Amino acid sequence: MRNGLYGLVVCGGQSSRMGTDKSEIVYYQKPQREHVSEMLENFCEKVFISCNGKQASRISNSNSLLTDLPEFSNIGPMAALLTANAVFPENDFVVLACDYPFIDIKDLESFLQAIHKESFAAAFYNEKHAVYEPLIAWYSKEALHEIQHYFHNKQFSLQRFLKETHAQQFKPVNDNNLKSVDTPEDAINAKLIISNKNNF
């Protein structure tokens, strides 16, 4: 565990393609937001569930909620990080969205161990598509402060931020784990894959 490291489970977004809240889908016998939270608890001093106002009313454990601040509404996932930094400006955050059900505790452990001491930010990197995964990432408090400048300049892309700041790239052993599950069909297939894997 890194001192001062907080975890952020990102549930935000409209889930328009999925048609239902992705954080409530059950892959591992509990809502995905709870599964992700429990994984992060192995590495973080505290873990918070990031959500929008509509989702907050459906989540029972209000003590762990970080609801997007109104001034950051409608800017996408950057809102989660800006809110986290506004509330906890002295903490680094490791972030994992609920869209990635194949990411497991071994992936997280390998990732956190690989982060260089001098790194500003680090994220899983999808070599197949040559893109960062901004919501499977670690952001230092300094990086989060810099993201505020991007926001004030009306630049809301975390992908752009990671590219321009030359964030450390982490390439997992199994890049299939980077698959984002965004549609009902994808969710059904993911459940089958996870169920079959757990039966072996």
Give the residue extent of every domain in the chain. Answer: 5-198
d(CA 110, CA 102): 15
From the list 67, 125, 124, the residue with the least C-alpha distance to 96 is: 124
What is the pLDDT, as a whole number, of residue 4? 86
What is the pLDDT, as a whole number, of residue 14? 57
Tell me which residues of the chain have a pLDDT lower than 70: 1-2, 12-16, 19, 60-63, 199-200
- State the chain's mean pLDDT as an integer: 91
Domain spanning 5-198, CATH class = alpha beta
Report whether 9 contacts 33 (CB < 8 A). yes
Could you read off the pLDDT of 8-64 as tens digits, one per residue? 999 866 566 776 888 899 999 999 999 999 999 999 999 999 987 777 777 766 668
